[in-house]
Amino acid sequence: MMREGGEFRELMLQVFRTRMSFRRAMQRTLKRNNAGITFEMLQILSSLWHEQGITQQVLAERTAKDKACLTNLMNNLEKKGYVCRKEDPADRRSKLVYLTKEGEEFRNQIRPILDQVYVNAEQIIGLDSIRTMMSELKSVYDVLENI
């Protein structure tokens, strides 16, 4: 017999396991295609693909990385020539992060490869199932945000 809250605990564990499985699938795809970056670096680049000129603090929040981890990732991405940091004109203590020309080219090269992971999973799982799961997970999110 499962104890109280046990089913919800199992749900959260499954969400976590699913996230880790997604991470491994993307890491395998990066490795198979000789991308030369880690999943963590991909998270940073992906955020910048959506919005550039943001502070490292915003980037850390969006990728759920602590300051030390983000600094390390940024240094590695800068060494690869994919990102650059520029002084924020509004706050000299703050740096804004941008993709370089090489970073843009890398996006154009790797994005279709990564998109194929999503396409393959979507075809196997099916749109109806995905929409149902998204709706259910949004409900769980809403509950947790209000507890």
Model confidence pLDDT, tens digit, residues 57-77: 999 999 999 989 999 999 999
Model confidence pLDDT, tens digit, residues 1-58: 667 889 999 999 999 999 999 999 999 999 999 999 999 999 999 999 999 999 999 9
Q: Is residue 63 part of a domain?
A: yes
Helix spans in 1-100 (H): 6-32, 39-50, 56-63, 67-79
Model confidence pLDDT, tens digit, residues 92-138: 888 899 999 999 999 999 999 999 999 999 999 999 999 999 999 99
| 103 alpha-carbon distance from chain centroid | 16
Look up the domain containing 47 and give its range. 7-145
Query: CB of 67 within 8 A of CB of 46?
Result: no
If one counts the domains in the chain, the total is 1
pLDDT (0 to 100) of residue 92: 84
pLDDT (0 to 100) of residue 33: 95
Q: Is residue 127 part of a domain?
A: yes
Q: Is residue 1 part of a domain?
A: no
34-39 long-range contacts, CB within 8 A, separation 24+ = 35/110, 35/113, 36/80, 37/77, 37/80
Q: Is residue 132 part of a domain?
A: yes
Q: 2: which DSSP letter? A: P
Q: Is residue 77 part of a domain?
A: yes
pLDDT (0 to 100) of residue 1: 65
| 82 alpha-carbon distance from chain centroid | 16
Nearest to 83 by CA among 70, 67, 101, 71: 101
For residue 29, give the CATH number of its domain: 1.10.10.10
Query: What one-letter code names the amino acid at 133?
Result: M
Question: Taking the chain, what is the end-to-end CA distance rounded to the nearest angstrom?
Answer: 26
Task: For helices 67-79 and 39-50, give the axis angle rounded to 10 degrees.
Answer: 80
Q: Is residue 80 part of a domain?
A: yes
Q: Is residue 43 part of a domain?
A: yes
Q: Is residue 116 part of a domain?
A: yes
Tokens representing residue 97 in the block: 């992060």
